[in-house]
Structure formats: structure tokens, C-alpha cells
């Protein structure tokens, strides 16, 4: 599988290194280059040849170019860029009408399972427990709260029973049907997410800690293997791990 990477930052380089690691073990992976678009570069000039699939670990501003490239060459795309807004999500949805696309706020296998578990825990405990989400990341992370925190919050709130409160300040009484979402930024924290279920009598907490960025490269390549032969459509990491029914 020939892979083109959009984004030559820390994550792009990590994905490139992981592809090379897999290739040296005799597996069918090869990187055709990394495209850095923020400085005015182009995907075409960065890749040595047309890849079988493109993986985007860059910036929301590049979503249009990545989607257009995938559409033009009729290849699947794995979109791993965080901080996407409504415009970028709409563009990804449009691309998924022409090519297979995997899009997720987090490519960690553990976070994908945590999302599923959090939804199930809410079904069991939600009526009697307050729910809070705390996420921690390095000082240079651009978006807050993280896309993963929102992914978890939306999984908990799949039925729309809760409203979100982003941080707290001053005097405000906590509402019963409320999910608090809190962001911490400091140092070189790769990523940590906690979901706290608290009642008057007990507290249950589930936590995910990312030890390195490599976990996201592992998940992205697993997504690439999944989507390479899939039909046109939009998929996420739950589909990749077979945690979604009717796919």
C-alpha cells in the first residue's frame, strides 16, 4: 500500500516513521512523501507518485485540498486532523460521496473503546450520577476543548439529554442534566482524558493516557488497512474496530 501523508509536522513525521518501520518488517507499506501545505506547497509536488491512499494529519485549513486530491485520483482518505469545524466536516461529508473516507477526532484504539464504554456507562448510571470530562494536553495544542473530549461528550449525550458546560467560573449551581467539559494546557502532555461519574455515595472514573504520539499512527494505519477496499462512504474508528453495527 503506497501512502501519501498530508502534514509534515510531528504527527506526519511519526506516521512516516511508523510506515517505514512496518515496511522494514516486510509488510506492504510505503510512504510516497509528506506534503506541507501551510507554507504554500502542493500535494502533487510533494508525492513521488500517486498513492493508494492519503492520510491527513495537518491543519483544518488543508481539508479542502486533501479531499479534492482524493476525489481527483479516486483514492480513499484517512482524515486525522483535529479542530475541524462545520465547514470542514461538510467538506469531508461531500468527499465521502465520491470516495471512501475515515474521519475521527482521535485514532487511538483505546479512545475508541473508551467512547463505546462511556456511552454504555451513561445508559446505566446517567440518571443517578453527575458526569464531568477533564482533558489535558501540551501547551501548543490549538483547540480547546480537544476534539476527543467532544467526541466523548457526544457519545455520552447520544440521546441529547444533557447540555454542555465548558469550564466554570464564579457562582453557578450545577444542573443535573449537565456535562462539564474542562481543558488543561501545559508542558509536553501528549494527551489525557478522564470521564468522572460521581454520585453522593461513590465516584467512578475511566481514564485514557497517551504515552506517545505513536498510538495515533498505529490507529491511522489500521484505518488505512480497513478503508482501502471499502465502498464509497464515511466511516469512523468504531467501524474500523467493528464496534458499529450494520457496516
Sequence-separated (6 or more) residues with CB below 8 Å from residue 111: 148, 151, 152, 193, 208, 237
Cα–Cα distance between 239 and 31 in angstroms, integer? Answer: 24
Active site residue 141: yes
Parallel, antiparallel, or unpaired: how do β-strands 192-198 and 203-209 relate? antiparallel
Give yes or no for a contact between 238 and 244, defined as CB atoms under 8 angstroms apart. Answer: yes
Q: Among residues 141, 182, 213, 230, which one is catalytic? A: 141
Question: Cα–Cα distance between 235 and 212 in angstroms, integer?
Answer: 25
Residues 6+ apart with CB under 8 A from 49: 2, 32
Q: Which residues contact 189 (CB under 8 A, 6 or more apart)?
A: 136, 137, 138
* Spatial contact of 195 and 118, defined as CB atoms under 8 Å apart: yes
Nearest to 156 by CA among 192, 139, 181: 181
Residue 13: active-site member: no
Active-site annotation holder among 136, 137, 208, 222: 137
Look up cell 473530549; give the residue: 149
Q: Which residues are catalytic?
A: 137, 141
Amino acid at each position: 500500500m503506497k501512502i501519501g501523508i498530508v502534514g509534515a509536522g510531528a504527527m506526519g513525521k511519526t506516521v512516516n516513521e511508523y510506515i517505514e518501520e512496518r515496511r522494514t518488517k516486510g509488510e506492504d507499506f510505503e510512504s510516497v512523501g509528506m506534503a506541507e501545505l501551510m507554507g504554500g506547497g502542493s500535494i502533487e509536488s510533494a508525492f513521488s507518485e500517486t498513492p493508494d491512499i492519503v492520510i491527513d494529519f495537518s491543519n483544518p485549513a488543508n481539508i479542502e485540498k486533501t479531499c479534492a486530491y482524493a476525489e481527483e485520483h479516486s483514492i480513499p482518505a484517512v482524515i486525522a486532523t483535529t479542530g475541524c469545524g462545520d465547514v470542514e466536516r461538510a467538506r469531508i461529508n461531500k468527499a465521502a460521496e465520491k470516495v471512501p473516507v475515515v474521519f475521527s477526532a482521535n485514532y487511538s484504539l483505546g479512545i475508541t473503546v473508551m467512547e463505546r464504554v462511556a456511552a454504555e456507562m451513561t445508559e446505566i448510571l446517567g440518571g443517578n450520577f453527575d458526569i464531568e470530562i477533564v482533558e489535558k494536553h501540551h501547551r501548543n495544542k490549538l483547540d480547546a476543548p480537544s476534539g476527543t473530549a467532544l467526541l466523548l461528550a457526544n457519545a455520552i449525550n447520544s440521546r441529547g439529554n444533557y447540555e454542555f458546560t465548558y469550564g466554570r467560573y464564579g457562582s453557578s449551581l450545577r444542573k443535573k442534566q449537565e456535562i462539564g467539559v474542562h481543558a488543561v494546557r501545559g508542558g509536553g502532555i501528549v494527551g489525557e482524558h478522564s470521564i468522572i461519574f460521581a454520585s453522593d455515595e461513590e465516584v467512578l472514573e475511566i481514564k485514557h493516557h497517551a504515552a506517545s504520539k505513536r498510538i495515533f499512527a498505529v490507529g491511522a494505519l489500521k484505518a488505512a488497512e480497513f478503508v482501502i477496499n471499502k465502498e464509497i462512504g464515511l466511516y469512523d474508528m468504531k467501524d474500523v474496530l467493528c464496534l458499529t453495527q450494520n457496516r
